[in-house]
Chains A and B, each alone.
Chain A
Amino acid sequence: MAGAGGGGNDVQWCFSQVKGAIDDDVAEADIISTVEFNHSGELLATGDKGGRVVIFQQELESKNQPQCRGEYNVYSTFQSHEPEFDYLKSLEIEEKINKIRWLPQKNAAQFLLSTNDKTIKLWKISERDKRPEGYNLKEEDGRYRDPTTVTTLRVPVFQPMDLMVEASPRRVFANAHTYHINSISVNSDCETYLSADDLRINLWNLEITDRSFNIVDIKPVNMEELTEVITAAEFHPNQCNTFVYSSSKGTIRLCDMRASALCDQHSKLFEEPEDPSNRSFFSEIISSISDVKFSHSGRYMMTRDYLSVKIWDLNMESRPVETYQVHEYLRSKLCSLYENDCIFDKFECCWNGNDSVVMTGSYNNFFRMFDRGYRQDVTLEASRESSKPRSVLKPRKVCTGGKRKKDEISVDSLDFNKKILHTAWHPQDNIIAVATTNNLYIFQDKL
């Protein structure tokens, strides 16, 4: 495993690439809404608010510079979802891509699932680098030859052509969610996947589009009694019978599909008792979990709420084993963050390849890494200013009070419009993809 380091010890992060428009005037359709590496890390997919998916492919390392990692270049771009209209409810269905999940590769083609609020699609991305030429009965442009001119027999042969990458929708999984889909997760059995909305989780077979099984339903009989919603769900990386879902109340439920067909009863409930001294109007909002991710090992899971990242041991339900404060200095600003809607931001989090470091985003285009082993954390910034090739990122620091030191930023100077909600870590290497509003930054550790 390359790159065992992380946020602390001696790893230095360098700028590698930035993708996206340079100008500050951001078109809403270009806002990145999801980022995901595939299982090998060779491909990096992004989804945006305009319903498009852009896939980047890592170039092979050149033989001249074996120490340099390959760059990511555009491999395929396609329109995954279009805006739709629900005529019954007179509501527009946004085309924004909420999540992308790659399927493990089984053959030459790549497959990914992409979802908006209501519909999940399975896309096949395949390469074509040769085409048949030399037909007997038709010209190269496709026109049929005059039969009287055909005097010999020739068989077409494959000739090389410029590489063409085709994306085609293979399955469309629609009409199964009343509420807005927030998560999809492919099962380790590679045959099924789950999709979760605010109140329900459905289990699908990748081959079958006209039926899905409802496995979790927390909708109360009387909607006025609703107290919590599902915010994220994920299958266990190794155990195909196990999945977790998080709630807006800060709880995580682990369910075992072997126990019953309907997993309304959880097998485990992970909940940390609330600290009464931190009680405020906004306690419920900031305890809402915005993301849940299993570690690669499957032993731990990580949750992200508004102010912190928590690591849970699946064997202990009473409290997390580790808690990392992402931006505790915002606790005293919750009222303003409520007024400007920032308190509703849904930050994601991710593990590095060997589960030693976790990463999540913050405001002012800052992102944070927490090294679990060395107990160190670092704050870095994704900005055009520090985007010279291979320039080392300087750790940033937010001044929380008192005299502001040089190079520190005061809390009041933070730009809350510049938020990093989506980050991804290469499964095997120290390469990270960090999405600002409409740009994708790729950083790697200094070799």
Chain B
Amino acid sequence: MDVSAEAKRIMAVSISKLYASRAQRGGMRLHRSLLLSVVMRSARDLYHSACLAKEREELGTAHLVQVTPEEGAMDTTASGEQVEVEVSQVEPESPLTPTIQEPMSSDSDAAQGACKTRTFIGKETVEDKENRSPVSPDRHSRKRRGKASVAPDFLPSKRARLSLELGEERVLRTGRRTCCRAGDAFTTLSLNSNRAIAAF
């Protein structure tokens, strides 16, 4: 399908740009990363809804459906999700969700607008964990299971990224902080002087 091929291509381009921006001089640009992840999300959502529509057509016969042809795409999307979470740490709302709402009334997660792909084994359906919506119970286990489950070496883990962000805040609050937030100054007078000049 033309639309899904286009969406897949845009997803791949977006991911490669996000990776490339990590090596950029001056560090990752927040604005650019945000825009890239917005485009990638839109493309991903559209691609998944296109997949879903296609699978629906095939559902009618209730055959065993091999998802091998799509695993290649899933590889990209899985790592794309990892990149999205770990690299840019932005998950803006997808503006295209109104147009690609899937009528998955049986599934409460449908409200999130995320597309689910299912591996059909006989008549059972097993949820594809990597493309689950964010509110599912074990959202912290985003790591893929399966043959390509190991994340690439050059990707730092999510934990390391979070501690870096926290570390940045701690250091910036002490000593070299020169930014003063007027509101905070009044409410935090009782706290030590370092925190009183915390910008955020």
Across-interface contacts of B43 in A (CB, < 8 A): 281
**Interface readout for B57-94 with A: 1 if CB under 8 Å, 0 if not?**
00000000000000000000000000001000111110
Contact between chains at B182 and A213 (CB < 8 Å): yes
Q: Does A2 contact B (CB under 8 A)?
A: no
Across-interface contacts of B182 in A (CB, < 8 A): 213-215, 261-262
Q: Which of A170-178, A314-322, A363-371, A415-423 contacts B (4 or more CB under 8 A)?
A: A170-178
Across-interface contacts of B145 in A (CB, < 8 A): none
Measured CB to CB, the nearest residue on chain B to A339 is B13
Across-interface contacts of A228 in B (CB, < 8 A): 34, 92
Across-interface contacts of A279 in B (CB, < 8 A): 96, 99
Contact between chains at B90 and A226 (CB < 8 Å): yes
Across-interface contacts of B177 in A (CB, < 8 A): 175
Given the contacts A199-B30, A283-B95, A89 and B164 also touching, CB distance less than 8 Å: yes
**Interface readout for A168-202 with B: 1 if CB under 8 Å, 0 if not?**
00000111111110100000000000000011101
Measured CB to CB, the nearest residue on chain A to B42 is A281
Across-interface contacts of A176 in B (CB, < 8 A): 178-179, 199
Across-interface contacts of A407 in B (CB, < 8 A): none
Residues of chain B from 1 to 36 with CB closer than 8 A to chain A in the complex = 6-7, 10, 13, 17, 25-27, 29-32, 34-35
Interface residue from B39, B168, B199 paired with A281 (Cβ < 8 Å): B39
Residues of chain B from 122 to 176 with CB closer than 8 A to chain A in the complex = 164-165, 167-168, 171-172, 176
Contact between chains at B178 and A225 (CB < 8 Å): no
Q: Which of A53-61, A68-76, A147-155, A216-224 contacts B (4 or more CB under 8 A)?
A: A216-224
- A223 CA / B29 CA spacing, docked (Å): 14
Q: A204 to chain B: closest CB distance in Å? A: 10
Interface residue from B13, B30, B90, B180 paired with A338 (Cβ < 8 Å): B13
Q: Which of A91-99, A102-110, A295-303, A383-391 contacts B (4 or more CB under 8 A)?
A: A91-99
- A391 CA / B60 CA spacing, docked (Å): 72
- A401 CA / B183 CA spacing, docked (Å): 57
Across-interface contacts of B13 in A (CB, < 8 A): 338-339
Q: Does A227 contact B (CB under 8 A)?
A: yes
Contact between chains at A261 and B183 (CB < 8 Å): yes
Q: A96 to chain B: closest CB distance in Å? A: 8
Contact between chains at B38 and A284 (CB < 8 Å): yes
Interface residue from A198, A225, A261 paired with B30 (Cβ < 8 Å): A198
- A200 CA / B89 CA spacing, docked (Å): 18
Across-interface contacts of A261 in B (CB, < 8 A): 182-183
Across-interface contacts of A36 in B (CB, < 8 A): none
Measured CB to CB, the nearest residue on chain B to A217 is B200
Q: Does B54 contact A (CB under 8 A)?
A: no
Q: B179 to chain A: closest CB distance in Å? A: 4
**Interface readout for A279-310 with B: 1 if CB under 8 Å, 0 if not?**
10111110010000000000000000000000
Q: Does A234 contact B (CB under 8 A)?
A: no
Across-interface contacts of B89 in A (CB, < 8 A): 223-224, 226
Q: B136 to chain A: closest CB distance in Å? A: 15
Given the contacts A89-B164, A94-B25, A224-B90, A214 and B179 also touching, CB distance less than 8 Å: yes
Across-interface contacts of A180 in B (CB, < 8 A): 26-27, 29-31
Given the contacts A283-B95, A284-B35, A92 and B25 also touching, CB distance less than 8 Å: yes
- A92 CA / B24 CA spacing, docked (Å): 9
Most chain A beta-carbon contacts within 10 A, residue among B46, B90, B176: B90
- A215 CA / B200 CA spacing, docked (Å): 11
Q: Does B181 contact A (CB under 8 A)?
A: yes
Please report the total number of A residues contacting B with Cβ < 8 Å. 54
Contact between chains at B168 and A89 (CB < 8 Å): yes
Measured CB to CB, the nearest residue on chain B to A219 is B200
Q: Does A210 contact B (CB under 8 A)?
A: yes
- A229 CA / B35 CA spacing, docked (Å): 10
Q: B15 to chain A: closest CB distance in Å? A: 13
Interface residue from B27, B46, B171, B172 paired with A91 (Cβ < 8 Å): B27
Contact between chains at A89 and B27 (CB < 8 Å): yes
- A382 CA / B139 CA spacing, docked (Å): 54
Given the contacts A224-B89, A288-B35, A339-B13, A212 and B167 also touching, CB distance less than 8 Å: no
Q: Does A444 contact B (CB under 8 A)?
A: no
- A179 CA / B24 CA spacing, docked (Å): 15
- A223 CA / B89 CA spacing, docked (Å): 6
Given the contacts A214-B199, A225-B91, A281-B39, A175 and B183 also touching, CB distance less than 8 Å: no
- A34 CA / B168 CA spacing, docked (Å): 30
Q: Does A445 contact B (CB under 8 A)?
A: no
- A255 CA / B7 CA spacing, docked (Å): 39
- A219 CA / B181 CA spacing, docked (Å): 14
Q: Does A27 contact B (CB under 8 A)?
A: no
Q: Does A211 contact B (CB under 8 A)?
A: yes
What would 6 more interface pairs be, CB under 8 Å, given A261-B182, A338-B13?
A89-B27, A175-B178, A180-B31, A213-B181, A231-B31, A335-B6
Q: Which residues of B contact A (CB under 8 A)?
A: 6-7, 10, 13, 17, 25-27, 29-32, 34-35, 38-39, 42-43, 46, 85, 89-93, 95-96, 99, 164-165, 167-168, 171-172, 176-183, 199-200
Closest 3 CB pairs of A and B: A261-B182, A91-B27, A94-B26
A-B contact pairs, 5 of them (CB 8 A): A202-B179, A229-B34, A248-B31, A335-B6, A341-B17
